[in-house]
Amino acid sequence: MGRYAEPLETRFWRQVKKTETCWLWQGYIEPRSGYGQIQLSSPVRKKERPHRVAWMLLRGPIPEGMDIHHTCEVACCVNPDHMELLTGSDHLKKEHQKRRERGMYHKMKRVGSTSKEEKCQSS
């Protein structure tokens, strides 16, 4: 018993803020990746990405070898409507493309834009 006595589902939804579009993860966010993190219930003491947990809770298990891609590009968003299942290689391709676009975007427009990462931490 102890800290993680509550079901994963309860702990999970308590840390999610639903907006009209994105469902924002309000729990711990890994600074380096910008992705959230949640500790799974014992005995599996494993950390998992909140968007994957949301998918599993609402849609079911994620098939092996499949990745979840955010169509809204908000790293902390856990709304399954904003996710699609991709094979690992398709996902990598999309990530590369995204990074290229983001790099250009930052060069062109730096001032006055609200980054999507900041949005995640709003309260």
Residues within the interface to Zn ion (CB under 5 A) = 22, 72, 74, 77, 79, 82
User: Residue 38 or residue 83: which is nearer to Zn ion going by CB?
Assistant: 83
Rounded distance between C-alpha atoms, residue 8 and residue 5, angstroms = 9
Q: Which pair of structure tokens corresponds to residue 87? A: 């094979």
The answer to whether the CB of 35 falls within 8 A of the CB of 117 is: no
Name the nearest CA neighbour of 48 among 71, 70, 14, 25.
25
The CB-of-87 to Zn ion minimum distance in angstroms stands at: 21
User: Residue 38 or residue 77: which is nearer to Zn ion going by CB?
Assistant: 77
The CB-of-82 to Zn ion minimum distance in angstroms stands at: 3
User: Residue 49 or residue 82: which is nearer to Zn ion going by CB?
Assistant: 82
Rounded distance between C-alpha atoms, residue 93 and residue 1, angstroms = 43
The CB-of-36 to Zn ion minimum distance in angstroms stands at: 13
